[in-house]
């Protein structure tokens, strides 16, 4: 399947081209970047790819659209939100299928989207599929698939199976810690080596909070933290159950939801970030304490939270196994 990757020089973008390069059914024909290092192989930016992946980074220009539409069938966008919002409609209008890793198309409510991202919702929501891979059935006809955010992916995968058991008066509390790569590759003081520590940020204002609430259909309290490690997300989630919920019901709910989902791993003990870093897996553990349910969930923010989920969705879109091209462990950065 010939494809193109936009934003190939960023962290999620380079993970995408590495996964697709090793995929038995996808062929990366174009790797576009806004980096000043275009016309160089991607291995110049990521030396660990030397002699393993030497795709040339190319600058994008709208004049290339007709050529692109004649050469590829699918585009993966790992771009800033505003750029995806402008580019994705052009690509779909040219007949291309788009998997967008930005937040430009995730939120359905126009006013919430405007508040979260600072620009108007670029397309009518009925034209967009929200692609939480284990909970979305793609028909293979969608033109634009919005890949969920990293924090919402972890939260939704942990909470959706038990949603019917949560008290109607409960607001789920989600404490999350992400590695520095979640802030992207662009240099910033707060993510520099001597500055990064462990700190909450975006409390009550993070744009992933309304996305989580949208997926769950109920409000949540979401507190993200930036940790002093490269990659991975760990979330600890607290909810109150209805009076009559049993441990057996909870166990059955997770079994029914994920027994045949190879990228979800139910764990007997709380997962560590090191268990999932460099993998496409989501590891989930739960404990019940009376009416309180504690959920611990870990993913790699660049893989299950971004590039690997995009590939998983593309696999589903084209009728391939979820795990196709996702058997490589390690990641690029």
List of residues 6+ apart from 206 with CB closer than 8 A: 151, 222, 224
DSSP β-bridge partners for residue 202: none
Note whether 198 and 222 are same-domain residues: yes
Label residue 186 by pLDDT band (50, 70, 90). low
Q: Is residue 323 part of a domain?
A: no
Tokens linked to 245: 């919920």
pLDDT of residue 322 exceeding 90: yes
Backbone angles phi, psi at 92, to 5 degrees: -65, -35
Note whether 140 and 266 are same-domain residues: no
What CATH code is carried by the domain that includes residue 84? 3.40.50.720
Note whether 277 and 314 are same-domain residues: no
Which of helix, strand or coil describes residue 222?
A: strand
Note whether 215 and 121 are same-domain residues: no
- Residue of 253 and 37 predicted with greater confidence: 253
Note whether 110 and 158 are same-domain residues: no
Q: Rounded to two decimals, what is the model's pTM?
A: 0.95
> How do strand 264-266 and strand 282-289 relate by DSSP bridges?
parallel
Number of domains present in the structure of the chain: 2
Note whether 231 and 312 are same-domain residues: no
28, 41, 13, 7: which is closest to 74 by C-alpha? Answer: 28
Note whether 313 and 285 are same-domain residues: no
What CATH code is carried by the domain that includes residue 227? 3.30.360.10
DSSP β-bridge partners for residue 248: none
The domain in which residue 221 lies consists of: 151-299
CA 29 distance to own-chain centroid: 23
- Model confidence pLDDT, tens digit, residues 83-95: 999 999 999 999 9
Q: Show which residues are catalytic.
A: 150
Note whether 242 and 310 are same-domain residues: no
Of all residues in the chain, what percent carry a pLDDT higher than 90?
86
- Model confidence pLDDT, tens digit, residues 114-168: 999 999 988 877 779 999 999 999 999 999 999 999 999 999 999 999 999 999 9
> What integer pLDDT is reported at residue 125 of this predicted model?
73
Q: What is the dihedral of CA 117, 120, 125, 129, to 10 degrees?
A: -40
Label residue 184 by pLDDT band (50, 70, 90). low
Q: Is residue 331 part of a domain?
A: no
Helix, strand and coil percent figures for the chain, each rounded to 5 = 35, 20, 45
Q: Is residue 35 part of a domain?
A: yes
9, 36, 34, 5: which is closest to 101 by C-alpha? Answer: 5
Mean pLDDT of 184-210: 81
Note whether 237 and 178 are same-domain residues: yes
Note whether 120 and 88 are same-domain residues: yes
Q: Is residue 330 part of a domain?
A: no
Q: Is residue 76 part of a domain?
A: yes
Q: Is residue 139 part of a domain?
A: yes
Note whether 110 and 198 are same-domain residues: no
Angstrom distance (rounded) from CA 186 to CA 208: 20
Note whether 158 and 112 are same-domain residues: no
- Model confidence pLDDT, tens digit, residues 44-61: 999 999 999 989 999 999
Q: Is residue 294 part of a domain?
A: yes
Q: Is residue 328 part of a domain?
A: no
DSSP β-bridge partners for residue 236: 175, 296
């Amino acid at each position: 399947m010939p494809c193109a990757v936009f934003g190939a020089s960023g962290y999620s973008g380079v993970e995408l081209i590495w996964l697709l390069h090793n995929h038995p059914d996808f062929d990366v024909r174009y790797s576009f970047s806004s980096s000043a290092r275009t016309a160089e192989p991607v291995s110049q930016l990521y030396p660990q790819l030397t002699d393993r992946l030497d795709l040339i980074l190319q600058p994008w220009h709208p004049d290339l659209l007709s050529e692109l539409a004649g050469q590829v069938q699918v585009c993966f966008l790992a771009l800033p939100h505003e750029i995806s919002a402008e580019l994705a409609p052009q690509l779909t209008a040219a007949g291309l299928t788009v998997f967008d890793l930005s937040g430009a198309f995730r939120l359905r409510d126009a006013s919430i989207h405007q508040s979260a991202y600072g620009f108007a919702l670029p397309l009518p929501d009925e034209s967009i599929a929200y692609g939480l891979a284990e909970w979305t059935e793609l028909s293979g006809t969608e033109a634009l698939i919005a890949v969920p955010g990293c924090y919402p992916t972890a939260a939704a995968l942990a909470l959706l199976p038990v949603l019917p058991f949560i008290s109607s008066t409960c607001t789920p509390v989600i404490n999350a810690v992400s590695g520095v790569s979640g802030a992207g590759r662009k240099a910033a003081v707060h993510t520099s080596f001597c500055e990064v520590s462990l700190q909450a940020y975006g409390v009550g204002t993070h744009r992933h909070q309304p996305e989580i609430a949208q997926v769950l259909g109920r409000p949540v309290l979401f507190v993200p933290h930036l940790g002093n490690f490269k990659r991975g997300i760990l979330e600890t989630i607290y909810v109150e159950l209805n009076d009559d919920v049993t441990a057996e019901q909870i166990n059955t709910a997770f079994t029914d939801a994920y027994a045949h989902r190879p990228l979800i791993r139910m764990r007997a003990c709380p997962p560590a970030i090191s268990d999932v870093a460099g993998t496409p897996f989501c590891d989930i553990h739960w404990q019940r304490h009376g009416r309180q349910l504690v959920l611990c969930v870990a993913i790699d923010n660049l893989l299950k939270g971004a590039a690997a989920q995009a590939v998983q969705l593309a696999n589903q879109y084209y009728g391939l196994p979820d795990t196709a091209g996702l058997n490589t462990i390690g990641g690029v950065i």
